[in-house]
Every structure is written in structure tokens, then in C-alpha cells.
């Protein structure tokens, strides 16, 4: 199986704890994949491994046949990996617009030394960034400080920043946590449009209606291992999933 | 260099090393509890040396009786500096660099006070009237003062270790070192523990200064020994208290052997180079567990 | 759209104010040369500008780059010795000597680069040790540096065939170099590079997720910051005609970081304000001669408590206070 992203026997241990223990899966281009599992199942670790924020202790990760796991985090962005964080990682005293512009870092870096033209290319990046911000519904807040935004807006801003890098694969770590139903529907609408623009999505989320309604396929993780994978309907019908995970679903609604 | 010389230099080095160790403990303790690289700390050595001058020369006390008063007086200064100079910045949640610079400023203040003619003046002071003659053990010359310095250094270091391990207050200080917010949740008065660790660091620095004055000379330039002790703290693993003592002894011996045998002119450059090498290759110290100092 | 226009027009108005203020300040700075010609004050200003230039570079590294370099004096020294070598041995003039100084200091930055992997206080200690080590090398490598005695008879400033001797000429040259460095740094910080630096300082993870090569950016912040110090080294040597190792000891590194923080770590002109205060204290208060450094220590200690943003934040703080008092708008 060769998809856009292939994880083969991917492992990560912290000391004696195996946070991710031999995960193998393949995400096809244009797919919206959900990654679910109980707390501590290793979901965020998988995102950190794919984005290069922590190194693997075993296995390999390929993006379109390219060995990703030997490339440092910032360079993976240039190969088309974008991500958001569970706790938004923004520049609090910078404006929403500038936060989005930073997402175009690769183009910023080349703009850096074209001294005379730097300004014009910076301003073209700014107008592109303004469009990205509008795309996620932050069009009215371009000049607000990122640090003063609501939690939900911060998450949207992270998505806009990631989109500035025109990612081939976007990793979303709990994009609707703490949002109400209306807000999470808006996020679902935004995410649903991404594959047409060439962005494949891997999303971690605890909000089951959100995941089931949004994702094409879902991977279920428990104790660092894949225990089920399939369409939302298949996963919901899987007895192993019910055993380890869906038992808690009732509590969360 | 023959074996005899090597042993002789090692013995001399241990005396100086015990002093480095005492100062290094202070650096590490302050780093552990406050997360701070303190530039005022070397000046507690300087203060201890001039207080030692008062005790030994003006008041004619013996080295042993002078240790506690000199240490306490320096500890008092350290607490005042911490409460007046650093606490307001901590309370405001000020930046690390503001705290570091405040310690630089207090270092200047202490040196400038001591430099005044009505205080101790700018020149070096001698503490020793008459040293007792050296004894010979298997052809190795042992000086009483070196032995005394080594002994008092060891006793103080063990005393501190016992305090931190065995007493309630000591455990609270260590808890603050692990995590200030958690310690506060457990009902520990964090500010009080920080003051106590400042006092302990000041006490040890002051005693180290007394010993420096006793072995070499006292005065405003004694602080440079304190700066070199930073190397000892790094060798032992910055923040690691037992490591600081070992780091001090290693640095003392290394420094002496390099000076005597490799190059007296390059000894300081080599010591500073050693700091860099240790930080890069073994940031947890030469003997400590591996910790990450990387980004 | 209207809101955006309002923001733009406010932006333009503040830009006009900035341009006017800058023009007046630059004119006043150049005007000081004829006004104070022949006075001790002018030679004092020369030293302020040279030290301020070394501090300006450090402000970029520390304030903009978040890299706490406690060994800046090493680069001040590397620039001085590198430049003086070409002046004395190859009879170069000032501008080529600047080039040599930059190359030598940049090599120093490359040597220091592996230390950038260390975080926080570990880098601070390593850079401090680097500065202290370089000072020892300056002091001991007598054949290259003249050691403690120093190198004498450094030729005066010579640019485009014109020799600049005396305080008035020296002042014009050092001021021009300082203003050019200031302008270049200001432009850099408004470029994409500046934006990336801001991003890394505020959220390293966020910047990395946006594709910023944090390690390389930190190196640039160091490299760009040592260049003004290298130029300051050459200027120092040519203005004074002598360089001694003691100028570049670790106390100088601490003095330079003090200027940066006292002036305001986030402010470029603060570097010069910090240099002005430090140099003023060390030459002027004759009435309280033996207490002047004590006064300096007390000033810094108090400043860190009451005004952590440094001298440069005085205006902003005063403005904020007055607005609060008047009960008016927000900041």
C-alpha cells in the first residue's frame, strides 16, 4: 500500500513506556483521516512523530515515497507537512495577520535577501495571508493581537498559519476541543474543503459526532497500537473499538 | 613531571578544590531553586575574605572560631540582596535577564562598598600571621592550612547534604528546586525557601572566601576565584549539589596540574575551554546522569 | 474596508512622525560635532558611540534573537585585532580593515555556533566561558595581540583617501558607521527575517511548525549581532591608537549586556542610551568620584525593579500612566 503518507511499524518509547508501538497505516491523497483513541493512546505522539517534533525509535515514515523520518521538523514543513497544536502555539503580541504570514516561512526566507524587493514580496504575502485568515473566518480580526483571541479563534488561526505553507498533509490536533456545536460545524466545513485544494488531512479529535461526520476513514489507537481502521460505520461496528473506547463515548455524548 | 610532583600538586589542588566546591554548591543551589545564574555569588567569596580579615586580623580569632560568624554575616548579606534586590522582580514575574542583571548590579554594589577607604580599601589584605610548619608524609609536603581547608570544606559540604536530605526545611528547599508551583500547592512557603537557599549559598560562599583569604589573600579581587568556581559547578553538572563538590575538587587538581605542568599562562583559557567542552558533550556534568541542555 | 483604511492612515501618520523625529535626531547628532569641537565632551561622545555600536549588535542577538550572548567582548576584540593586523601589517585603510574585522569576528561566531544548541542558562554560561577564554587568548597570544601591553601606533581612521584625526573627525566617522548599522538592523527587522525572529521568540514550536529553521535563525541572530561589535573594535583601535587585551575581558561582556538591558532589551536606541549612562558614570561625576560605580550599581538594581523595560520604556510607561490617570483610551 502506498498512499500519500505511509507509516510502517512506527514506534516511539519514552524510557520503558512504549507510547507508540508499531503503528502501520497508509493515508491516501485527498483523504480526511480521523485518529481516535482513549487518553494516553499515543495520538499526539503520532502527530509529533509525523511532524518531526520528536524522533522515532523504530520504523519509518514516508511522504509520497520520501523518507520523512530523517528530515528535521522545519524541513518537513517545506516538504508539505503542516500541523496545529493541542495547545495553540502562537505569537501572542503579533497580529493575526503576521501570525499567518509566518506560516509562509519558506517564501519569507527567500524574500529575506532580495533586499530591495523584500518589501513588495512581504506585502504580497500579507495579502495572501489575509485571504487565508478569511478562509478560516478570521477576516474581521486581522489586526487583533493573537494573544487576545478566544481559544476557538486561536485554533482557527493555527489552521490558517498551517495553510500558508500549502501543505500536502495537514495534521490537526483536537481542532474543535472546547468549541460549541455551531463553531465545530464551521471548522468541519473549512476542513471538508481542504482536499479539493490538494491538502490531505489527519485529524485527532475526541468529539465523536465531529469525527464521524467529517472523516472518510478512521484509525483507532489504543496503548500505542492500531486496533481498528475503516470507515466511520465500520469502526463504530467493531466490537474491539466498543470495548476499549466507545464505552466512554456515552459519557461524552 | 614525576610521580612525586604529581602527588604534591594534587594535594595542593585539593585545598583549592575544596574552596571551588563550596562556591560551586552555592551556584548550583541558587540555580536549582531559582533557576538563576547568579553573578553576585562570586562576590560573597570576596565578602567572606574581607570579613575574614576583620575576624582573624582585627579580632585575632582562630580560623575555626571565625568560620561560623563569617559565614553567618555573609549569609545575612545574601538574604538582604535576595529580598531587596531579587524578590520584587520575582514577585512581578520579571524576565530571567532582569534577574541576572540585578545580580550583576548587586555584585558591583558589594565590590564598590568594600573598595571604599572607610571599608577595606582597594588593595589585597593578608590574613595569615604565622602559618604552622608543614609536615611530611612519605616525602609529600602537607601544609596544615591546606588540610584545614580541605577538612572544613568537607564538613560543610556534608553538613549541607545532611540538612537538605534529613531536615523538613531541607526537603522543602529541594521540593522548591524540583518545581516551585507544585511546592507552593503542597503548602510550602516558596519565598521563605528561596531566602533560605540564598542564605545557604551566602554562608558557603562566605566561608570559601575566608579560606581563600587564609590560603592566599583577601580583598576585592577575590571574586575572580568565585567566577572560576562556575567551571566547577558545570563540571559537576550545573544544579547538581554533590556533583559541585566533586567538580570543585577535580577543577582544583586539574587547575594546579595544568599550571605546574602544562602551561601557567594558558591555565585559565584551558579551564574556560573545559566549561564549553563539558557543556557541549556532558551537560549533566562529567559524573552526573545525562540530562538534556539542548534545545 | 473603512476600518482597514483607518488603520492604514494611522499607520501613515505614525510613520510621518517617525521620519520627522529621526531626521531631527540625526541632524542634532551631526550638529554636536561643530558645537562641541575641541571639548572633552566630544571625545566622551566618541566613546559612547563606539561602545553603543558594540551594544547595538548585542541588542540584536539578545533582544531580537533571544540568544543570551554573555561573550560579546570577544567579538569586539576579534574585530579590533583582525582590523589592526591589516592596518599595521598590510597598510590597509579603514573600510577594508572593516571587512577583515567582519571576517575574523564571523569566524569567531562560526566557532561559537555549536554552543547555540544549548538552551537558556547553559548557553549563557558557555558564551560567558567563550568570552573569558578569548580574553585569555588575547592576553597570551603576544605575537598577534601585544598581550597586556597591547598594540601601539594604530594608524588613524582613513576613508576614501581622507584621514580623520581629532575628536571632531573621529566623531563624524563613528557616528556615520553607527547610524548605518542602526538603519540596516532596523530594515532587517522589518523584513521576513525580522518577522521570523519575532515568531521564534514568541513561540518556538509555532515557528518550527511553520517551517522556521530555528537553529539557523539563532545563528544568524548571533552572526549579524557580532558585526557591529567587530566594526566598533576597529573604530576603537583607530580612534585611540592603541588596543590592549584588558578592554575585552569578561567584565566588558558584562558591561555590554548591562548597557543593552539598562537601555531596554527591545530597543535599538536603548543600546546607545545604556552606553551613554555607563560611560557618563565612568568619566563625569567628579564630585562623588569614589562613589560613582556604587551609584551605577544601585541605579541598575533599582531600574530592574521599577523599570524592567529599561530607559527606552520610560516614554511608553509615562504615556500609559498618564492615560490611566486621565481615564481615557486604552493602549
The cell for A117 is 524587493
- Select the residue of C193, C209, C214 nearest A112 (Cβ to Cβ): C193
Instruction: Verify whether the Cβ–Cβ distance B37 to C254 is below 8 Å.
Output: no
Share of chain A above pLDDT 90, in %: 62
Asked if the C-beta of C133 comes within 8 angstroms of chain B's C-beta atoms, the answer is: yes
- Asked if A3 and A29 touch (Cβ cutoff 8 Å), the reply is yes
Of the pLDDT bands very low, low, confident and very high (cuts 50, 70, 90), residue B295 is very low
* Interface touch A98/C193, C-beta < 8 Å: no
Burial category of B10 from C-beta neighbours within 10 Å (exposed 0-12, middle 13-18, buried 19 and up): middle
In sequence order, what are the beta bridge partners of A25?
A7
**Across residues A77-83, what is the average pLDDT?**
92
Q: Do chains A and C touch (3 or more CB pairs under 8 A)?
A: yes
How many angstroms separate the CA atoms of A47 and A83, rounded?
8
Which of C128, C297, C304 is nearest residue B98 as measured by Cβ atoms? C304
* Lookup: cell for A171: 495534521
The rounded distance, in Å, linking the Cα atoms of B58 and B127 is: 10
Query: Residues B266-284: pLDDT tens digits?
Result: 888 988 998 899 998 887 7
From residue B257, give the alpha-carbon distance in Å to each of A181, B11, B61, B146, B285. 73, 10, 33, 16, 21
Q: Which three cell numbers stand for residue C154?
A: 594604530
Average pLDDT over residues A81-102: 91
pLDDT score of B165: 86
Strand, helix or coil for residue B261: helix
Q: How far apart are CA C31 and CA A11, in angstroms?
A: 68
End-to-end CA distance of chain A: 35
C126 vs B36, B116, B275: nearest CB = B275
Alpha carbon distance B100, B108 (integer Å)? 13
Give the mean pLDDT of A172-189: 91
Return the pLDDT at A44: 93
Q: What is d(CA A102, CA A122) in angstroms, rounded to the nearest whole number?
A: 11
Instruction: Calculate mean pLDDT across residues A179-199.
Output: 92
Query: Residue C190: closest CA among chain A residues belongs to which residue?
Result: A119
Of C115, C132, C300, the CB nearest to B272: C132
User: What number is the average pLDDT over the span B197-218?
Assistant: 92
Q: How confident is the model at residue C221 (pLDDT cuts 50, 70, 90)?
A: very high
Q: Which of the residue ranges A70-74, B178-182, C113-117 would you say has the lowest mean pLDDT? A: B178-182
Taking the C-alpha atoms of residue A214 and residue A170, their distance in angstroms, rounded to an integer, is: 15
* Contact status of C258 with chain B (Cβ, < 8 Å): yes
C283 touches chain B (CB under 8 A): no
Closest residue by Cα to residue C279 from C39, C34, C40: C40
DSSP A245: I
For residue A173, the cross-strand partners are A204
Count Cα atoms within 13 angstroms, Cβ side, for A201: 29
Judged by CB atoms closer than 8 Å, whether chains meet at B234 and C125 is answered as yes
Is-contact B49 B222, C-beta < 8 A? yes
Q: What is the mean pLDDT of chain C?
A: 89
* Closest CA of chain C from B230, distance in Å: 9
Nearest to C177 by CA among C94, C62, C243: C94
User: Whole-angstrom Cα distance, residue C137 to residue B243?
Assistant: 29
Select the residue from B34, B83, B96, B108 to test the C interface by mutation, using most C Cβ atoms within 10 A: B108
The mean pLDDT value for C140-156 works out to 89
pLDDT above 90 (res A213): yes
Contacts of B89 in chain C (CB under 8 A): 304-305, 308
CB contact under 8 A, C206 and A91: yes
Say if CB C154 and CB C80 are below 8 A apart.
no
Residues of C in contact with B269 (CB under 8 A): 133, 136-137, 140
Residues C146, C259, C272: CA angle, nearest 5 degrees? 95
Residue C75: which of C94, C103, C47 has the closest Cα? C103
B175 has pLDDT over 90: no
Residue C331 has pLDDT above 50, yes or no: no
Residue A110 has pLDDT above 70, yes or no: no
User: Using CA atoms, how far apart are residues C212 and A103, in angstroms rounded to an integer?
Assistant: 9
The answer to whether residues C105 and C78 touch, using CB atoms and an 8 Å cutoff, is yes
- pLDDT(B38) > 80: yes
pLDDT at C323: 62
Compute the 3-state secondary structure of chain C and give helix, strand, coil in percent, each to the nearest 5. Answer: 80, 5, 20
Asked if pLDDT for residue C192 goes beyond 90, the answer is no
The rounded distance, in Å, linking the Cα atoms of B230 and C124 is 12
Please, what sign has the CA dihedral across residues B189, B194, B198, B200?
positive
Query: Contact B97/C261, CB-based, under 8 Å?
Result: yes
What's phi and psi for A24, nearest 5 deg?
Answer: -125, 125
Residue C6 forms contact with A (CB below 8 Å): no
Please answer yes or no on whether A162 and C210 come within 8 Å at the CB atom.
yes
* Neighboring chain C residues of A101 at a CB cutoff of 8 Å: 195
What is the enclosing helix (H) or strand (E) of A27? strand A17-27
Average pLDDT over residues C27-44: 90
Q: Per-domain residue ranges for chain B?
A: 3-281
Tell me the pTM.
0.87
Confidence band, pLDDT 50/70/90 cuts, at residue A116: very low
Residues of C in contact with B41 (CB under 8 A): none
Which candidate from C119, C261, C301 shows the least CB-CB separation from B295? C119
Give the model confidence (pLDDT) of C46-60 as tens digits.
999 999 999 999 999
Q: Which of A53, A92, A106 sits opposite C211 (nearest CB)?
A: A106
Cα–Cα separations (whole angstroms), residue A18 to A15, A48, A170, B235, B291: 8, 15, 25, 33, 21
Count of CB pairs separated by less than 8 Å, B with C:
132
Q: Which long-range contacts (CB under 8 A, 24 or more apart) does B92-99 make?
A: B92/C305, B92/C308, B94/C304, B94/C308, B95/C308, B96/B35, B96/B36, B96/C120, B96/C121, B97/C62, B97/C68, B97/C261, B97/C265, B98/C261, B98/C304, B98/C308, B99/B34, B99/B36, B99/C304
Q: Note whether B275 contacts C129, CB cutoff 8 Å.
A: yes
CA proximity to B107, closest of B81, B72, B69: B81
**Residue C297 φ then ψ, to 5°:** -60, -45
pLDDT at residue A127 tops 50: yes
Q: What is the pLDDT of residue C224?
A: 97
Residues of A within an 8 Å Cβ radius of C: 51, 53, 72-75, 77-78, 82-85, 88-94, 98-99, 101-109, 111-112, 115, 118-119, 121-122, 125, 142-143, 158, 161-162, 164-165
Percent of chain B with pLDDT over 90: 37
Judge: B35–C121 Cβ closer than 8 Å, yes or no: yes
The mean pLDDT of A81-85, rounded to a whole number, is 94
The whole-angstrom distance between C255's CA and the closest CA on chain A is 30
Contact B280 C114 (CB under 8 A): yes
User: Do at least 3 CB pairs under 8 Å connect B with C?
Assistant: yes
What pLDDT, on the 0 to 100 scale, is given for residue B132?
58
Q: Is B142 helix (H, G, I), strand (E, B) or coil?
A: strand
Domains along the sequence of chain A with CATH? 1-80+167-253 (3.40.50.300), 88-166 (no CATH)
How confident is the prediction for chain B on average, in pLDDT?
86
∠ CA A173-C193-C182, rounded to 5°: 145
- Domain locations in chain C? 1-35, 40-248
CA-to-CA distance for A229 and A26, rounded, in angstroms? 10
* Nearest to B147, CA basis, from B11, B10, B8, B3: B11
Residues 6+ apart with CB under 8 A from C286: none
Helices (H), chain C: 2-35, 40-59, 72-89, 94-112, 120-140, 142-145, 166-190, 192-202, 204-209, 214-240, 250-263, 268-283, 292-306, 314-326
C-chain CB neighbours of A89 within 8 Å are: 203, 205-206, 209
Q: Return the CATH class of domain B3-281.
A: mainly alpha
The answer to whether A175 and A155 are in contact (CB under 8 A) is yes
Who contacts A48 (Cβ-Cβ below 8 Å, separation ≥6)?
A54
Subunits in contact with chain C (3 or more CB pairs closer than 8 Å): A, B
B175's enclosing H/E stretch is: helix B168-178
Residue B289 contacts residue C124 (beta carbons within 8 Å): no
| Separate counts of helices (H) and strands (E) for chain B | 12, 2
Question: In A, which residues are within 8 Å of C191 by CB distance?
Answer: 111-112, 115, 118-119, 122
Which cell goes with B6?
604529581
Distance (Å) from the alpha carbon of C10 to chain B's nearest alpha carbon: 32
Q: Does C297 touch chain B (CB under 8 A)?
A: yes
Query: Cβ(C235)–Cβ(C50) under 8 Å?
Result: yes
Q: Could you tell me which residue, A252 or B24, shows the higher pLDDT? A: B24
Average pLDDT over residues A229-245: 86
User: Among all residues of chain C, which has the CA nearest to that of B295?
Assistant: C119
Q: Rounded mean pLDDT of B166-194?
A: 85
Q: Is C329 an 8 Å CB contact of chain A?
A: no
**pLDDT tens digits, one per residue of B126-157:** 876 545 566 677 667 677 777 778 888 888 88
If you count residue pairs, one on A and one on C, with CB atoms under 8 Å apart, how many are there? 104
Of C118, C293, C300, the CB nearest to B279: C118
Q: Is the ipTM of this complex over 0.90?
A: no
The pLDDT value given to residue A46: 95
Tens of pLDDT, residues B41-69: 999 999 999 999 999 888 988 888 999 99
Contact present, C87 and C238 (Cβ < 8 Å): yes
Quick one: average pLDDT of B102-123? 93
The closest of B33, B35, B71, B36 to B52, measured between CA atoms, is B71
User: Is C198 close to A98, i.e. CB distance below 8 A?
Assistant: yes
Q: Give the gyration radius of chain A's Cα atoms.
A: 18
- Please name the member of B101, B227, B265 whose beta carbon is closest to the beta carbon of C300: B101
Length of chain C: 331
* Dmax (CA) of chain C: 69
Confidence check: pLDDT of A118 > 50: no
pLDDT value at residue A247: 55
- Cα–Cα distance for residue pair A191/A218, rounded to 1 Å: 15
B neighbour chains, 3+ CB pairs within 8 Å = C
Closest CA to C156 of C112, C200, C93, C199: C93
Helix, strand or coil, per DSSP, at residue A218: strand
Fill in the DSSP letter of residue B81. I
**How does pLDDT run across C250-269, given as a tens digit for each residue?**
999 999 999 999 999 989 99
Q: How many CB atoms lie within 10 A of CB B14?
A: 21
Do the Cβ atoms of B81 and B74 come closer than 8 Å? no
- What mean pLDDT do residues B156-177 have? 87
Identify all chain B residues contacting C265, using CB atoms and an 8 Å cutoff: 97
DSSP readout, A5-23? EEEEEEEEEETTEEEEEEE
Could you give the strand order of the β-sheet that contains A5-14, starting from the edge strand earlier in sequence?
A17-27, A5-14, A58-63, A66-67
Nearest to A102 among C191, C196, C214 (CB): C196
Looking at residue A16, its pLDDT comes to: 84
- Supply the pLDDT for residue C121: 86
Interface test with C, best of A75, A105, A121 (most C CBs within 10 A): A105
The yes-or-no verdict on residue A112 having pLDDT over 60 is: no
Instruction: Please indicate if any CB of chain B lies within 8 Å of the CB of C290.
Output: yes
Residue of B nearest to C68 (CA): B97
Q: Does any CB of chain A come closer than 8 Å to the CB of residue C183?
A: no
C-alpha cell, C236: 576603537
By Cβ distance, the residue of A89, A92, A112 closest to C209 is A89
Q: In what order do the strands lie in the sheet with A225-230?
A: A81-83, A169-173, A200-204, A32-36, A217-222, A225-230
Average pLDDT, chain A: 87
pLDDT digits (tens, 9 = 90+) for C153-166: 899 999 998 899 98
Q: How many CB atoms lie within 10 A of CB B121?
A: 14
C28-43: average pLDDT: 90
Amino acid at each position: 500500500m502506498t498512499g500519500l503518507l505511509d507509516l510502517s511499524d512506527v514506534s516511539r518509547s519514552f524510557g520503558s513506556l512504549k507510547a507508540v508501538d508499531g503503528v502501520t497505516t497508509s493515508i491516501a491523497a485527498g483523504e480526511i483521516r480521523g485518529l481516535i483513541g482513549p487518553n494516553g493512546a499515543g495520538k499526539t505522539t503520532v502527530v509529533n512523530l509525523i511532524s518531526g517534533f520528536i524522533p522515532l525509535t523504530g520504523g519509518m515514515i514516508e511522504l509520497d515515497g520520501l523518507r520523512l523520518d530523517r528530515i528535521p521538523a522545519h524541513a518537513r514543513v517545506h516538504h508539505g507537512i503542516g500541523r496545529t497544536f493541542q495547545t495553540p502555539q502562537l505569537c501572542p503580541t503579533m497580529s493575526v495577520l503576521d501570525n499567518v504570514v509566518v506560516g509562509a516561512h519558506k517564501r519569507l526566507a527567500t524574500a529575506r535577501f532580495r533586499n530591495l524587493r523584500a518589501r513588495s514580496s512581504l506585502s504580497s504575502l500579507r495579502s495572501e495571508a489575509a485571504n487565508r485568515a478569511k478562509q478560516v473566518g478570521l477576516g474581521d480580526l486581522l489586526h487583533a493581537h493573537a494573544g487576545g483571541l478566544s481559544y476557538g479563534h486561536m485554533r482557527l488561526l493555527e489552521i490558517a498559519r498551517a495553510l500558508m505553507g500549502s501543505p500536502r498533509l495537514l495534521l490537526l490536533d483536537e481542532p474543535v476541543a472546547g468549541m460549541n456545536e455551531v463553531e465545530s460545524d464551521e471548522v468541519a466545513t473549512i476542513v471538508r474543503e481542504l482536499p479539493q485544494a490538494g491538502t490531505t488531512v489527519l485529524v485527532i479529535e475526541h468529539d465523536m459526532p465531529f469525527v464521524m461526520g467529517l472523516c472518510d476513514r478512521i484509525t483507532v489507537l489504543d496503548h500505542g497500537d492500531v486496533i481498528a481502521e475503516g470507515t466511520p460505520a465500520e469502526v463504530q461496528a467493531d466490537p474491539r473499538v466498543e470495548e476499549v473506547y466507545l464505552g466512554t463515548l456515552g459519557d461524552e455524548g | 613531571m614525576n610521580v612525586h610532583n604529581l602527588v604534591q600538586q594534587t594535594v595542593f589542588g585539593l585545598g583549592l578544590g575544596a574552596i571551588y566546591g563550596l562556591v560551586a554548591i552555592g551556584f548550583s543551589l541558587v540555580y536549582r531553586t531559582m533557576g538563576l545564574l547568579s553573578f553576585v555569588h562570586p562576590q560573597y567569596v570576596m565578602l567572606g575574605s574581607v570579613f575574614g580579615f576583620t575576624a582573624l586580623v582585627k579580632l585575632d580569632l582562630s580560623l575555626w572560631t571565625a568560620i561560623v560568624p563569617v559565614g553567618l554575616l555573609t549569609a545575612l548579606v545574601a538574604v538582604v540582596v535576595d529580598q531587596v534586590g531579587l524578590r520584587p522582580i520575582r514577585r512581578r514575574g520579571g524576565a530571567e535577564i532582569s534577574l541576572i542583571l540585578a545580580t550583576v548590579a548587586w555584585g558591583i554594589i558589594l565590590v564598590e562598598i568594600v573598595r571604599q577607604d572607610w571599608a577595606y580599601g582597594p588593595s589585597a589584605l593578608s590574613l595569615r600571621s604565622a602559618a604552622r610548619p608543614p609536615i611530611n608524609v612519605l616525602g609529600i609536603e602537607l601544609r596544615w592550612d591546606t588540610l584545614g581547608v580541605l577538612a572544613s570544606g568537607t564538613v560543610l559540604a556534608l553538613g549541607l547534604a545532611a540538612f537538605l536530605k534529613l531536615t523538613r526545611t531541607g526537603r522543602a528547599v529541594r521540593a522548591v528546586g524540583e518545581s516551585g508551583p507544585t511546592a507552593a500547592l503542597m503548602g510550602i512557603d516558596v519565598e521563605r525557601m528561596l531566602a533560605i537557599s540564598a542564605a545557604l549559598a551566602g554562608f558557603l560562599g562566605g566561608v570559601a572566601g575566608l579560606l581563600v583569604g587564609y590560603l592566599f589573600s583577601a580583598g576585592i579581587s577575590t571574586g575572580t576565584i568565585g567566577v572560576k568556581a562556575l567551571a566547577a559547578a558545570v563540571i559537576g553538572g550545573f544544579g547538581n549539589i554533590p556533583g559541585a563538590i566533586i567538580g570543585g575538587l577535580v577543577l582544583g587538581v586539574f587547575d594546579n596540574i595544568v599550571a605546574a605542568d602544562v602551561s601557567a599562562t594558558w591555565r585559565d583559557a584551558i579551564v574556560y575551554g573545559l566549561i564549553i567542552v563539558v557543556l557541549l558533550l556532558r551537560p549533566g556534568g562529567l559524573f552526573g546522569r545525562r540530562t538534556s541542555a539542548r534545545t | 474596508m473603512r476600518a482597514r483604511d483607518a488603520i492604514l492612515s494611522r499607520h501613515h501618520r505614525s510613520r510621518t512622525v517617525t521620519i520627522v523625529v529621526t531626521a531631527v535626531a540625526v541632524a542634532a547628532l551631526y550638529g554636536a560635532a561643530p558645537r562641541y569641537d575641541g571639548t572633552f565632551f566630544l571625545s566622551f561622545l566618541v566613546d559612547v558611540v563606539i561602545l553603543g555600536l558594540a551594544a547595538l549588535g548585542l541588542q540584536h542577538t539578545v533582544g531580537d534573537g533571544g540568544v543570551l550572548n554573555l561573550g560579546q567582548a570577544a567579538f569586539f576584540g576579534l574585530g579590533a585585532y583582525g582590523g589592526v593586523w591589516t592596518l599595521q601589517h598590510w597598510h590597509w585603510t579603514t573600510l577594508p580593515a572593516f571587512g577583515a574585522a567582519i571576517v575574523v569576528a564571523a569566524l569567531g561566531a562560526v566557532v561559537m555556533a555549536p554552543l547555540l544548541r544549548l538552551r537558556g542558562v547553559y548557553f549563557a554560561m558557555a558564551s560567558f566561558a567563550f568570552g573569558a577564554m578569548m580574553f585569555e587568548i588575547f592576553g597570551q597570544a603576544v605575537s598577534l595581540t601585544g598581550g597586556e601591553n597591547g598594540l601601539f601606533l594604530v594608524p588613524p581612521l582613513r576613508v576614501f583617501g581622507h584621514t580623520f584625526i581629532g575628536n571632531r573627525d573621529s566623531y563624524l566617522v563613528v557616528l556615520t558607521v553607527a547610524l548605518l548599522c542602526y538603519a540596516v538592523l532596523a530594515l532587517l527587522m522589518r523584513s521576513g527575517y525580522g518577522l521570523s525572529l519575532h515568531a521564534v521568540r514568541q513561540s518556538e514550536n509555532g515557528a518550527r511548525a511553520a517551517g522556521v529553521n530555528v537553529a539557523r535563525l539563532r545563528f544568524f541572530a548571533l552572526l549579524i549581532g557580532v558585526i557591529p561589535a567587530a566594526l566598533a573594535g576597529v573604530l576603537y583601535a583607530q580612534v585611540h591608537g592603541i588596543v590592549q587585551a584588558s578592554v575585552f575581558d569578561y567584565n566588558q561582556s558584562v558591561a555590554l549586556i548591562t548597557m543593552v538591558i539598562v537601555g531596554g532589551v527591545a530597543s535599538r536606541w536603548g543600546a546607545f542610551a545604556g552606553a551613554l549612562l555607563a560611560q557618563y558614570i565612568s568619566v563625569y561625576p567628579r564630585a562623588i568620584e569614589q562613589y560613582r560605580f556604587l551609584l551605577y550599581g544601585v541605579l541598575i538594581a533599582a531600574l530592574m525593579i521599577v523599570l524592567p523595560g529599561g530607559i527606552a520604556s520610560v516614554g511608553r510607561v509615562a504615556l500609559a500612566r498618564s492615560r490611566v490617570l486621565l481615564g481615557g483610551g486604552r493602549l
